[in-house]
Structure 1
Amino acid sequence: MITSWPVWLAFGVLFLGAFARGNATYWVGRGLRRGGERTKASDRFDSAGFVRAERVVRRFGAPAVSVGFLTVGFQTAINLTAGMMRMPQSRFLPAVTVGALFWATLYTTVGMAVIEAALGRVPWWWMLAGLAAVIATILIGKRLMNRPVDAAELAETEEADGGSDLERV
């Protein structure tokens, strides 16, 4: 059972699993978008509303991707949407890395403490570590959500993704 693994190994496996799943979901979204662009309904991707939505995802989507790893049920939808809205890799990869770190930290500490509690073997330091992890995750998430995005950084990410669809607005 994973509770008998060294903490660093459990953390590493959980991190890699979350990172791989987040990226796989993102690329499924990119594939769905590409497939959608080849259908009769592809003109919907050119609508002003859709282009504005893409702009919002490119600008504010990275914190949503990171914080999404702390939710149940929304993580997949957020990563899929990031792919479908063509969030640039330069913004998605750091966000998914932070999110996978959040997820691995949460499950290595609080998740393992819950398993241990269910089995009736909870050392006091697991509870303390879990509480510290929850507090750290909240503080980091708050910091990410309040991070200002300057115009130069936004222009750089738009250029890296071609920028052509943003010029249509």
Structure 2
Amino acid sequence: MSLDPTTWGWPFPATVAAFFVVVVLRAGGTYWAGRLVRRGADRGRVAALLARPGYRRAERWVDRWGAPAVTLSFLTVGVQTMVNLAAGVTRMSQWRYLPALAVGSLLWALIYAGVGFVGLSALRLLWDRSPWWAAGALVLLLALLTGFWWRQRRRTDPVPLPVSAQPRDQ
């Protein structure tokens, strides 16, 4: 079976359902991996840190307000795994996590199935007309994404101190 959903011959709702199952299993597995890491940490060297009042307060805050973060993380790239892992490590209650997982997974499945169908269909149509144009479109997309990434990275890099403001060795 190809990874291209446009070649599956499935109706759109079936593709969404398949993506939904995949992302629920992956994200839910990440949550449970976090719970297992936490169980080990409770018995390890960092148990004293996890028992501190500040960490307990943070856990309660994540448990209460983390569900929207879990749901919204599925609209991002590269964040959802860490958010689901953090939800597990901080022992977010399942009755708050599972609905957030379900809604976020449905959003993810709809986006990926829709963009997958439209994007891959458009790319295939362009390839059929001219492989050179399709390759050029992919190179342009890669250049735009690289430029965006580079610009974001430059914004977050710390600004170096002027030489006169740097500490002197004594």
Relative to the length of structure 2, the TM-score reads 0.68
1:95-110 to 2 correspondences below 5 Å: 95-110=100-115
How far does residue 27 in structure 1 lie from its aligned partner after superposition?
0.1
1:128-139 to 2 correspondences below 5 Å: none
How far does residue 72 in structure 1 lie from its aligned partner after superposition?
0.4
Matched residue SS, 2:91: coil
What are structure 2's unaligned runs of at least 5 residues?
127-170
Aligned to 1:163: none
How far does residue 110 in structure 1 lie from its aligned partner after superposition?
2.0
Aligned to 2:64: 59
* Count of paired positions: 121
Aligned to 1:138: none
- Aligned residues with identical type, % of pairs: 44
1:1-16 to 2 correspondences below 5 Å: 1-4=4-7, 5-16=10-21
Q: For residues 45-84 of structure 1, what are the alpha-carbon distances to aligned partners after superposition, in whole Å with 9 as ceiling and x for unaligned?
A: 1112211110111111001101111110000000000000
Please, which moves more after superposition, 69-78 or 34-43?
34-43
CA RMSD of aligned residues (A): 1.2
How far does residue 118 in structure 1 lie from its aligned partner after superposition?
1.5
Q: What CA distance in whole angstroms lies between the structure 1 residues aligned with 2:33 and 2:99?
A: 18
1:2 maps to a residue whose letter is P
Aligned to 2:81: 76
Q: What CA distance in whole angstroms lies between the structure 1 residues aligned with 2:121 and 2:60?
A: 44
Q: For residues 113-155 of structure 1, what are the alpha-carbon distances to aligned partners after superposition, in whole Å with 9 as ceiling and x for unaligned?
A: 111121127xxxxxxxxxxxxxxxxxxxxxxxxxxxxxxxxxx
Matched residue SS, 1:66: helix
Matched residue SS, 1:87: coil
What are structure 1's unaligned runs of at least 5 residues?
122-169
1:1-169 to 2 correspondences below 5 Å: 1-4=4-7, 5-120=10-125
Q: What CA distance in whole angstroms lies between the structure 1 residues aligned with 2:125 and 2:55?
A: 51
Q: Which runs of 4+ in 1 moved over 4 A?
A: none
How far does residue 40 in structure 1 lie from its aligned partner after superposition?
2.0
How far does residue 111 in structure 1 lie from its aligned partner after superposition?
2.8
Contact residue 34 and residue 87 of structure 2 kept, 8 A = yes
Q: What CA distance in whole angstroms lies between the structure 2 residues aligned with 1:10 and 1:39?
A: 43
Q: What CA distance in whole angstroms lies between the structure 1 residues aligned with 2:28 and 2:100?
A: 11
Q: What CA distance in whole angstroms lies between the structure 2 residues aligned with 1:51 and 1:58?
A: 10
